[in-house]
Structure 1
Amino acid sequence: MSRACLDFSIFRSLSGPRRTDGNILAAGSVLRYTCHQDPSPTTHHHTSHPVTVKRKKKRPDPCSYRKRIYRSRVAPGGLVSFEVRIRETDLHILSGTDLRQEATAAVFRYRGQLEGYIAHHPEFVTSLSPLPLDPTAPPIVKTMLAAGQAAEVGPMAAVAGAMAEYVGLDLLAAGAGEVVVENGGDIYCCRNQESVAGIFAGSSPLSNRVGLKIPASRMPLGICTSSGTVGHSLSLGEADAVTVLAKDTALADAVATLVGNMVQPGQGLEPALGKGSAIAGILGVVIIRGEELGAWGEVELVPLGG
């Protein structure tokens, strides 16, 4: 595996005429099914000098992200599309069959486990550092604690990814066949078709222009994105998007937070990529900051039509 930094000119040179009638499967990271797409070059570990970008002092308005406007881009691709919203949990689900009742029950179940644990362990919510593993905790809590330890962050950095995967696994057990669960840009994806995960990166010119090709053989897969300029999640860095791939969706979520925290003004992307690459279980990392893009791991980059 290798690390690479790329500039926007690479993607301009690759973004010739393209058909865009492939089905978009999910967004936040936006999943696109690439049927009927004309062959075009892909970028796999290209190298170039990164571009130096001046950052805005004021964070871009994240309202469009909170309203989940990106979900309007989604075409279900033969799957049933529905949403489940319970307090802070806001899921967009694609499933082989209509399992919204089962999904709602799963969200209540796992929220109940989390809320019950937090009532006796309030530090679980507030800690920005890893907490000790707890053999008596509910399964979703154990998963988040383990992810936090691996990524050197607090366990709540893994909550969205953990919820997405746990609900997705329940739906597969209930007969979904295929499922995509998107939880504020953190995705558990189990499809039997090749997909492309396109990255939403706020005001970056690369936003929705760069995709990650994901073969069906690599699924199920967690695809999680953290941002220092978009959305409500806590990030201490300035990346427009950090997308992490892992089999463990909670781990991908926690590591996206870790890597995003390391993208600091005046520093290149290589240290952050190196940190993510050193964690066992991480398959790939992509960082977007303005016109800069850094990539490491099992990442095949493809240009999107925007």
Structure 2
Amino acid sequence: MNRFYRSWHSKRFKSFTVVYRESDLWIGVNVYDENMKNGVYQSLIEIHSQIRECISRYPKFLVSFKPVDISSESGVIKRMLSASKLAGVGPMASIAGAIADEIGDLLIERYGCKEVLIENGGDIFVKNIEPVVVSVYAGNSVLSGKIGLEIPPGRWGICTSSGTVGHSISFGNADSVTVVSETAAVADAFATSYCNRVKREEDIGNLLNEALNEYVLTVLVIYGDKFGLIGKHELRLIEREKDGVHESD
């Protein structure tokens, strides 16, 4: 749910954007191929086509707030179905993360990228060999854009859901709930599930007490001027300056 880090991380990555229908991807890579942008665009068209076809065959795939029992050979649909079952939410709760995962795999496998950062509507896929700091946008909270998570080398999904920002349906009131998992689809689904549970400030502690599992590695909740963090990833303070953004310990 954050866009200002696009310019921040553009100093480290070779970056480009790809937009198709509802998907607005900022992509950073360590090596750039001139065919890469068109390859991503064509893949994005196919991914959206598969999702629309699934919705046409199974309308409940679009509207259900719970996991659905359907079959599909599509990679992105399989990701969404699996993530929704793990988190107990509808398949569409993981759509942005699942698309980011699919494009991340494309860039790694077809183009040999060693580092990839994909932001799709604020939901992030990362494959990194050096640490990267991801900031969190939390709407009108005084903490918005001022704190983030340090992401160590590895392959990660970092996704944020909000009850106060954006067009996505949420049953909670948190300004942001950020989840780190091994895939963006799973992080997206759990971020939705956990944000639904935070309806008041007192719910932060209750959620964090039981948030971690084999799929959820870190959870950061922002509610007004309060935040809670649990998991393996370290908090970083973000400082804005006239000439850019940097993080401090």
TM (normalized to structure 2)? 0.89
Q: What is the Cα deviation at residue 266 of structure 1?
A: 5.7
**Who is 1:146 aligned against?**
82
Higher strand fraction (1 or 2): 2
Deviations 1:51-85 (A, max 9, x none): xxxxxxxxxxxxxxxxx5x3664341342211111
Q: Residue 300 in 1 paired to residue 234 in 2?
A: yes
* Partner residue, 1:213: 150
For residues 268-292 of structure 1, give each alpha carbon's deviation from its aligned partner in whole angstroms, at most 9, with x where no partner exists: 3122223432x43111100000111
Q: Report which structure shows greater RCO (CA 8 Å, sep ≥6).
A: 1
Post-superposition offset of 1:232:
1.5
State whether structure 2 residue 228 is matched by structure 1 residue 291: no
SS in 1 for 2:200: coil
Deviations 1:37-64 (A, max 9, x none): xxxxxxxxxxxxxxxxxxxxxxxxxxxx
Q: Is the Cα contact below 8 Å between 1:211 and 1:302 reproduced in 2?
A: yes
Instruction: Indicate if the aligned counterparts of 2:163 and 2:172 stay in contact, CA closer than 8 A.
Output: yes
Q: Which residue of 1 aligns with 2:67?
A: 130
2:129 to 192, 197, 203: 192
Which amino acid in 2 is paired with 1:150? L
Q: Does the CA-based 8 Å contact 2:126-2:156 persist in structure 1?
A: yes
Alignment partner of 2:203: what SS? coil
Measured at CA, do residues 273 and 113 of structure 1 come closer, stay the same or move farther in structure 2, by a change above 3 Å? same
Residue in structure 2 matched with residue 270 of structure 1 by the alignment: 205
RMSD: 1.7
Rounded to whole Å, the distance in 1 between the matches of 2:189 and 2:93 is 5
Unaligned runs of 5+ in 2: 241-249
2:24 corresponds in structure 1 to 90
Q: Counterpart of 1:18?
A: none
% identical equivalent positions = 36
Say whether the 8 Å CA contact 1:127–1:155 is kept in structure 2.
yes
Match of 1:269, SS? helix
Residue by residue, what CA displacement relative to the aligned partner does 1:84-118 show, whole Å, maximum 9, x if unpaired?
11111111111221411111011012111111111
Question: Could you say which structure has the larger radius of gyration?
Answer: 1
Tell me the amino acid that sits aligned with residue 195 of structure 2: G
Alignment of 1:154-169 (within 5 A): 154-169=90-105
Matched, 1:179 2:113: no
CA distance in 2, matches of 1:241, 1:140: 25
- Cα contact 2:218–2:232 (8 A) shared by 1: yes
- Paired residues of 1:79 and 1:97 also in contact (CA < 8 A): no
Structure 1 counterpart of 2:165: 230
Counterpart residue type for residue 89 of structure 1: S
Whole-angstrom distance in 2 between the partners of 1:178 and 1:236: 35
Helix, strand or coil at the partner of 2:61:
helix
